[in-house]
Amino acid sequence: MPSNVETKEEGSLKIGILEVQGAFLEHKNALLKAKEKMKLPVQIETYEVRNPSHVTSSLDGMIIPGGESTTISLFLKRNNMIEPLRDWIQNRRHVTWGTCAGMIILAKQNENQKIGGQPMLDVMDTDVSRNYFGRQVHSFEAEVNLSDSFTQVCPGDKTYHGVFIRAPAVVQTLSPKVEVLATFTQKEKAEDVIVAVQQENIIATAFHPELTEDVRWHQFFIKRVLTNKTLP
Protein backbone atom coordinates (compact mmCIF):
# COMPACT_ATOMS: atom_id res chain seq x y z
CA MET A 1 0.00 0.00 0.00
CA PRO A 2 1.52 3.39 -0.95
CA SER A 3 2.36 5.49 2.08
CA ASN A 4 1.38 8.88 0.69
CA VAL A 5 -0.29 10.64 -2.21
CA GLU A 6 0.48 14.02 -3.74
CA THR A 7 -1.47 14.38 -6.96
CA LYS A 8 -4.91 13.33 -8.13
CA GLU A 9 -5.23 11.33 -11.31
CA GLU A 10 -8.32 11.35 -13.47
CA GLY A 11 -10.28 8.15 -13.24
CA SER A 12 -9.18 7.19 -9.75
CA LEU A 13 -10.49 7.43 -6.21
CA LYS A 14 -7.91 7.83 -3.48
CA ILE A 15 -8.96 6.43 -0.12
CA GLY A 16 -6.94 6.87 3.05
CA ILE A 17 -7.20 4.23 5.77
CA LEU A 18 -6.13 5.11 9.30
CA GLU A 19 -3.70 2.27 10.00
CA VAL A 20 -3.43 2.26 13.78
CA GLN A 21 -5.54 -0.74 14.76
CA GLY A 22 -8.36 -2.75 13.31
CA ALA A 23 -8.99 -4.59 10.07
CA PHE A 24 -7.55 -2.06 7.64
CA LEU A 25 -6.46 -4.78 5.19
CA GLU A 26 -10.00 -6.18 5.21
CA HIS A 27 -11.36 -2.71 4.44
CA LYS A 28 -8.99 -2.41 1.49
CA ASN A 29 -10.06 -5.79 0.11
CA ALA A 30 -13.75 -4.98 0.59
CA LEU A 31 -13.33 -1.68 -1.28
CA LEU A 32 -11.80 -3.48 -4.25
CA LYS A 33 -14.51 -6.16 -4.18
CA ALA A 34 -17.22 -3.48 -4.02
CA LYS A 35 -15.67 -1.68 -7.00
CA GLU A 36 -15.72 -4.88 -9.05
CA LYS A 37 -19.36 -5.55 -8.17
CA MET A 38 -20.26 -1.99 -9.15
CA LYS A 39 -18.32 -2.36 -12.44
CA LEU A 40 -16.78 1.06 -11.88
CA PRO A 41 -14.58 2.38 -14.69
CA VAL A 42 -12.35 4.14 -12.15
CA GLN A 43 -9.48 2.78 -10.12
CA ILE A 44 -9.54 2.72 -6.32
CA GLU A 45 -6.21 3.38 -4.67
CA THR A 46 -5.77 3.01 -0.92
CA TYR A 47 -3.16 4.78 1.21
CA GLU A 48 -2.03 4.33 4.79
CA VAL A 49 -2.66 7.27 7.10
CA ARG A 50 -0.31 7.33 10.09
CA ASN A 51 1.02 10.87 10.39
CA PRO A 52 -0.06 14.43 9.48
CA SER A 53 1.77 14.37 6.14
CA HIS A 54 -0.56 11.59 4.99
CA VAL A 55 -3.68 13.73 5.54
CA THR A 56 -3.73 15.59 2.25
CA SER A 57 -6.37 17.22 0.07
CA SER A 58 -5.49 14.66 -2.60
CA LEU A 59 -7.44 12.03 -0.70
CA ASP A 60 -11.11 11.70 -1.67
CA GLY A 61 -12.20 9.50 1.24
CA MET A 62 -11.04 8.27 4.62
CA ILE A 63 -11.86 5.16 6.66
CA ILE A 64 -11.28 5.01 10.42
CA PRO A 65 -11.39 1.29 11.29
CA GLY A 66 -12.29 -0.32 14.58
CA GLY A 67 -9.97 -1.11 17.45
CA GLU A 68 -9.65 0.36 20.93
CA SER A 69 -10.89 3.94 20.76
CA THR A 70 -8.68 5.22 23.59
CA THR A 71 -5.56 3.77 21.99
CA ILE A 72 -6.46 5.24 18.60
CA SER A 73 -7.32 8.68 19.94
CA LEU A 74 -4.13 8.85 22.02
CA PHE A 75 -2.14 7.85 18.93
CA LEU A 76 -3.76 10.72 17.02
CA LYS A 77 -2.96 13.18 19.80
CA ARG A 78 0.63 11.99 20.22
CA ASN A 79 1.24 12.29 16.48
CA ASN A 80 -0.42 15.73 16.18
CA MET A 81 -3.14 14.39 13.89
CA ILE A 82 -6.30 15.65 15.60
CA GLU A 83 -6.44 19.07 13.93
CA PRO A 84 -5.28 17.94 10.45
CA LEU A 85 -7.90 15.17 10.43
CA ARG A 86 -10.64 17.47 11.74
CA ASP A 87 -9.84 20.08 9.08
CA TRP A 88 -9.78 17.42 6.37
CA ILE A 89 -13.14 15.97 7.44
CA GLN A 90 -14.80 19.39 7.52
CA ASN A 91 -14.18 19.83 3.80
CA ARG A 92 -17.50 18.70 2.30
CA ARG A 93 -15.75 17.18 -0.72
CA HIS A 94 -14.10 14.64 1.58
CA VAL A 95 -16.05 11.62 2.83
CA THR A 96 -15.19 9.93 6.12
CA TRP A 97 -16.42 6.57 7.40
CA GLY A 98 -15.80 5.37 10.94
CA THR A 99 -16.51 1.77 11.98
CA CYS A 100 -16.96 0.78 15.64
CA ALA A 101 -14.17 2.73 17.42
CA GLY A 102 -14.30 5.13 14.48
CA MET A 103 -17.91 5.94 15.42
CA ILE A 104 -16.75 6.83 18.96
CA ILE A 105 -13.87 9.01 17.77
CA LEU A 106 -16.05 10.98 15.33
CA ALA A 107 -18.75 11.78 17.93
CA LYS A 108 -19.15 15.08 19.77
CA GLN A 109 -20.34 13.35 22.95
CA ASN A 110 -19.39 10.02 24.50
CA GLU A 111 -21.01 8.23 27.40
CA ASN A 112 -19.08 5.77 29.58
CA GLN A 113 -15.84 7.48 28.65
CA LYS A 114 -12.74 6.48 30.58
CA ILE A 115 -11.64 8.65 33.50
CA GLY A 116 -9.70 11.66 32.25
CA GLY A 117 -11.43 11.52 28.90
CA GLN A 118 -9.81 11.02 25.54
CA PRO A 119 -9.23 13.33 22.57
CA MET A 120 -11.99 13.07 19.96
CA LEU A 121 -12.45 14.52 16.51
CA ASP A 122 -15.78 16.10 17.58
CA VAL A 123 -17.19 16.33 14.06
CA MET A 124 -20.46 14.36 14.24
CA ASP A 125 -23.54 15.52 16.14
CA THR A 126 -24.01 12.24 17.98
CA ASP A 127 -23.94 11.03 21.57
CA VAL A 128 -22.28 7.61 21.50
CA SER A 129 -22.15 5.01 24.26
CA ARG A 130 -18.89 3.07 24.37
CA ASN A 131 -19.32 -0.70 24.78
CA TYR A 132 -23.10 -0.25 24.61
CA PHE A 133 -23.68 -3.98 24.18
CA GLY A 134 -21.07 -5.06 26.74
CA ARG A 135 -17.43 -6.02 26.72
CA GLN A 136 -15.51 -8.29 24.32
CA VAL A 137 -17.21 -11.46 25.60
CA HIS A 138 -20.56 -9.96 24.63
CA SER A 139 -19.62 -9.59 20.95
CA PHE A 140 -22.26 -11.00 18.62
CA GLU A 141 -23.65 -11.14 15.09
CA ALA A 142 -27.20 -10.11 14.21
CA GLU A 143 -29.39 -8.69 11.50
CA VAL A 144 -29.71 -4.91 11.41
CA ASN A 145 -32.56 -3.00 9.79
CA LEU A 146 -31.54 -0.72 6.92
CA SER A 147 -33.20 2.62 6.21
CA ASP A 148 -35.01 3.35 2.97
CA SER A 149 -32.38 5.96 2.11
CA PHE A 150 -29.66 3.31 2.33
CA THR A 151 -31.47 0.75 0.18
CA GLN A 152 -32.28 3.42 -2.40
CA VAL A 153 -28.54 3.93 -2.85
CA CYS A 154 -27.66 0.23 -2.50
CA PRO A 155 -30.67 -1.89 -3.48
CA GLY A 156 -31.06 -5.28 -1.87
CA ASP A 157 -32.32 -6.85 1.31
CA LYS A 158 -33.76 -4.54 3.96
CA THR A 159 -31.49 -6.17 6.51
CA TYR A 160 -27.74 -6.56 6.84
CA HIS A 161 -25.76 -9.13 8.81
CA GLY A 162 -23.85 -7.02 11.32
CA VAL A 163 -20.73 -8.14 13.20
CA PHE A 164 -20.61 -6.39 16.58
CA ILE A 165 -17.33 -6.53 18.50
CA ARG A 166 -17.42 -4.71 21.83
CA ALA A 167 -19.62 -2.34 19.91
CA PRO A 168 -20.83 1.18 20.63
CA ALA A 169 -24.24 2.61 19.72
CA VAL A 170 -25.70 6.05 19.12
CA VAL A 171 -27.90 6.83 22.11
CA GLN A 172 -28.93 10.28 20.86
CA THR A 173 -28.63 12.38 17.73
CA LEU A 174 -27.85 16.01 18.49
CA SER A 175 -28.87 17.61 15.21
CA PRO A 176 -31.51 17.09 12.51
CA LYS A 177 -28.57 16.83 10.09
CA VAL A 178 -27.88 13.33 11.44
CA GLU A 179 -29.71 10.65 9.47
CA VAL A 180 -30.23 7.16 10.87
CA LEU A 181 -29.10 4.53 8.35
CA ALA A 182 -29.53 1.35 10.40
CA THR A 183 -31.02 0.12 13.66
CA PHE A 184 -30.81 -3.08 15.67
CA THR A 185 -33.83 -4.37 17.56
CA GLN A 186 -32.63 -5.27 21.06
CA LYS A 187 -35.21 -7.83 22.15
CA GLU A 188 -34.37 -7.76 25.85
CA LYS A 189 -35.11 -4.02 25.93
CA ALA A 190 -37.80 -4.13 23.24
CA GLU A 191 -36.34 -1.10 21.50
CA ASP A 192 -34.50 -0.14 18.35
CA VAL A 193 -30.89 0.91 18.86
CA ILE A 194 -29.19 3.23 16.36
CA VAL A 195 -26.15 1.46 14.89
CA ALA A 196 -25.40 3.46 11.72
CA VAL A 197 -25.72 7.16 10.91
CA GLN A 198 -24.79 9.72 8.32
CA GLN A 199 -24.25 13.45 8.66
CA GLU A 200 -23.58 15.08 5.31
CA ASN A 201 -20.10 13.79 4.34
CA ILE A 202 -19.57 11.62 7.46
CA ILE A 203 -20.73 8.01 7.92
CA ALA A 204 -20.44 5.90 11.07
CA THR A 205 -21.32 2.26 11.75
CA ALA A 206 -21.20 0.45 15.10
CA PHE A 207 -20.64 -2.88 13.34
CA HIS A 208 -17.88 -4.16 11.03
CA PRO A 209 -18.95 -4.51 7.38
CA GLU A 210 -15.35 -5.31 6.40
CA LEU A 211 -15.68 -8.66 8.21
CA THR A 212 -18.55 -9.91 6.03
CA GLU A 213 -18.92 -10.92 2.39
CA ASP A 214 -21.70 -8.36 1.85
CA VAL A 215 -19.97 -5.22 0.53
CA ARG A 216 -23.02 -2.96 0.30
CA TRP A 217 -21.66 -0.59 2.95
CA HIS A 218 -18.44 -0.21 1.02
CA GLN A 219 -20.51 0.43 -2.10
CA PHE A 220 -22.47 3.06 -0.18
CA PHE A 221 -19.22 4.73 0.89
CA ILE A 222 -17.79 4.65 -2.66
CA LYS A 223 -20.96 6.17 -4.12
CA ARG A 224 -20.84 8.97 -1.55
CA VAL A 225 -17.17 9.60 -2.39
CA LEU A 226 -17.98 9.76 -6.11
CA THR A 227 -20.80 12.22 -5.47
CA ASN A 228 -18.85 14.52 -3.15
CA LYS A 229 -15.75 14.53 -5.34
CA THR A 230 -17.68 16.53 -7.95
CA LEU A 231 -18.90 19.21 -5.54
CA PRO A 232 -17.70 22.75 -6.33
What residue ranges do the domains of the chain occupy? 12-229
Q: Which has more confidence, 8 or 231? A: 231
Q: What is this structure's pTM?
A: 0.91
What pLDDT does 118 receive? 66
Q: Are strands 169-173 and 124-129 parallel, antiparallel or unpaired?
A: antiparallel
**Is residue 208 flagged as an active site residue?**
yes
Q: Are strands 61-64 and 124-129 parallel, antiparallel or unpaired?
A: unpaired
Q: Which of 27, 54, 94, 208 is catalytic?
A: 208
Confidence bin at 68 (pLDDT 50/70/90): confident
Lowest mean pLDDT, pick from 1-15, 142-156, 218-232:
1-15
pLDDT above 50 for 2: no
**Average confidence (pLDDT) over 188-217:** 94
Give one word for 156, left, alpha or beta, with left for phi > 0 and alpha for psi -120 to 50. left
Q: Which of 19, 45, 210, 218 is catalytic?
A: 210
pLDDT above 90 for 153: yes
What pLDDT does 24 receive? 84
pLDDT above 80 for 88: yes
* Paired residues of 163 in beta bridges: 141
Q: Which has more confidence, 8 or 24? A: 24
Q: What is the pLDDT of residues 164-196, one digit of tens each?
A: 999 999 999 999 999 999 999 987 777 899 999
pLDDT above 80 for 7: no
pLDDT above 50 for 1: no
pLDDT above 80 for 70: yes
**Average pLDDT, whole number, for the chain?**
90
* Paired residues of 173 in beta bridges: 126
The 3-class secondary structure across the chain, one letter per residue, is CCCCCCCCCCCEEEEEEECCCCCHHHHHHHHHHHHHHHCCCCEEEEEEECCHHHCCCCCCEEEECCCCHHHHHHHHHHCCCHHHHHHHHCCCCCEEEEECHHHHHHEEEEECCCCCCCCCCCCEEEEEECCCCCCHHHCEEEEEEECHHHHHHCCCCCEEEEEECCCCEEEEECCCCEEEEEEEEECCCCEEEEEEEEECCEEEECCCHHHCCCCHHHHHHHHHHHHHHCCC
Q: What is the pLDDT of residues 103-140, one digit of tens each?
A: 999 999 998 665 555 668 999 999 999 889 877 656 89
User: Cα-flanking dihedrals φ and ψ of residue 222, to 5°?
Assistant: -60, -45
When the candidates are 3.40.50.880, 3.90.640.10, 3.30.70.3460, 3.30.420.310, the CATH number that belongs to 12-229 is 3.40.50.880
8 A C-beta contact, residue 105 and residue 113: no
Q: Which of 54, 100, 154, 218 is catalytic?
A: 100
